[in-house]
Amino acid sequence: MLTATDRYLARLIAVPMFATLVISAMLLVLDKMLSLFDFVAAEGGPVSVVWRMLASMLPEYLSLGIPIGLMLGILLAFRKLALSSELDVMRAVGLSYGRLLRVPYMYAIALALLNFGIVGFVQPLSRHAYEALRFELRSGALGASIKVGEFTTLGKRMTLRIERSRDEGRNLQGIFVRAVSRNGQSVAVTAEQGTFLATDDPDTIIFRLRNGVLVNDGPKYKTPRILSFSSHDLPIDLPQIERFRGRDNDREKTIPELVVIGRNADTPDKLKDEVRANFHFRMVEVVFMFLLPLAALAFAIPPKRSTSALGVFLSIVFIVTYHKINQYGESVGALGRIDPIIALWGPFVVASALVLWMYHVIAHRPGGQPTAALEYAFGKLGKQIARLLKFGRKRSPAAAEGAA
């Protein structure tokens, strides 16, 4: 059962953990949002597709945001306890670091299972959905808009130009249309207004024109035929859109699918290397989360009589660097240069040894501080910088008098 201390720790961890998770995910989303707006605008697609694409990318951002949130949530909670001397009181009444880590490991287990579900099942499907949206946007399946004031080609035989668009595209003005049939006949139409209308056939739409002139010409006509009209329906055949591919990419396969492909004797060696590398990358990222409570505790506690926040900076560098090393190991393993087990689990063993050593120093050596050398070096560097700044301020008035 959870004690009052456990519940207190749970509250201390929860607030910064969820805040960091939300902030990190939002920063990644905002970073991608601008490029997506540019891409959608260049392709002439509806703005609403941007939100669908961002929603498809959210699981990928959460897979990185969850470990960062877990690390900083535990770190900031223990840092607060250390700076307020509450940690010393807990240690004095017999609570070991192992006992205090019970609640952090509850969070770690729950979030590791959540992350496994995301990277193993949700993220592959969402990645495929994102690529499908990109494909449909480029192919025109999302109803790419017609740019006002420019000539737009519909299919291979029709050109359209619109001067003005009002009421969100429902009222088009200053219209020019030219279409050429397969037998050589051409139709050129100018109209004051027009509206697109849907039909029962998904491959055909009606362009209803009002107050215009139609010119019909062909090889068999001696002179073009000219027709003035108050209303004319012009059928437009939409271009055929090829279907998007299936989930052929190894990044779009779920964990069970990767296992089946990797164990299949008929799988080509190149594909097998890619599948194995991706499988081990996902697994090592999830398993690494069980080391984060130990690492967070080691980074959280500053030296005595110090309020340095160097541990917070080092923890972020540590987790991001390890993630980048895993990405490099996955790419090397996918090329077949190194076995994926060595390329991905080798760095995990090294990181595990480092984290266990840091925890041993902080938990079992009296006064131990695994980042003491870095704290000392950064402290000396900070003093030198402060001294230089003070020297510059003191010298400025004297320099001014000498110049006078």
pTM score over 0.95: no
Neighbouring C-alpha atoms within 13 Å toward the C-beta of 236: 23
How far apart are alpha carbons 392 and 389 in whole angstroms?
Answer: 5
Position of tokens 């009421």?
167
On the CB side of 312, CA atoms within 13 Å amount to 13
State the Cα–Cα distance between residues 19 and 80, nearest whole angstrom: 16
Kindly give, in sequence order, each residue whose CB lies less than 8 Å from that of residue 201, ignoring residues fewer than 6 positions away.
Answer: none
The residue among 263, 367, 297 whose CA lies nearest residue 104 is: 297
78 contacts 296 by C-beta, under 8 angstroms: yes
Cβ(355)–Cβ(291) below 8 Å:
yes
Q: What is the SS3 string spanning 203-228?
A: CEEEEEEEEEEEEEECCCCCCCEEEE
Residue-level length of the chain: 404
What's the pLDDT score for residue 90? 93
- Please list the pLDDT of the chain residue by residue as tens digits (404 residues): 789 999 999 999 999 999 999 898 888 888 888 888 887 777 666 778 889 999 999 999 999 899 999 999 999 999 999 999 999 999 999 999 999 999 999 999 999 999 999 999 999 999 999 988 888 777 655 555 567 788 877 766 788 888 888 876 678 899 999 988 877 888 899 999 998 887 777 667 888 999 999 998 888 888 888 889 999 888 877 655 556 778 888 889 999 999 999 999 888 999 999 999 999 999 999 999 999 999 999 999 887 777 778 889 999 999 999 999 999 999 999 999 999 999 999 999 999 999 999 999 999 888 778 877 677 676 777 777 877 777 666 555 555 455 44
378 Cβ contact list (under 8 Å, min separation 6): 308, 310
Cα-flanking dihedrals φ and ψ of residue 196, to 5°? -85, 135
pLDDT at 350: 96
Task: Give the pLDDT of residue 145.
Answer: 57
Parallel, antiparallel or unpaired: strands 204-217 and 186-198 = antiparallel
Q: What are 130's two structure tokens?
A: 């994102």
Find residue 237's DSSP bridge partners.
Answer: 204
Q: What is the DSSP letter of 177?
A: E
| 182 three-class SS | coil
Determine the distance from the C-alpha atom of residue 58 to the mean position of all C-alpha atoms in its chain, rounded to a whole number: 6
Q: Angle 372-403/310-334 helices, nearest 10 degrees?
A: 120
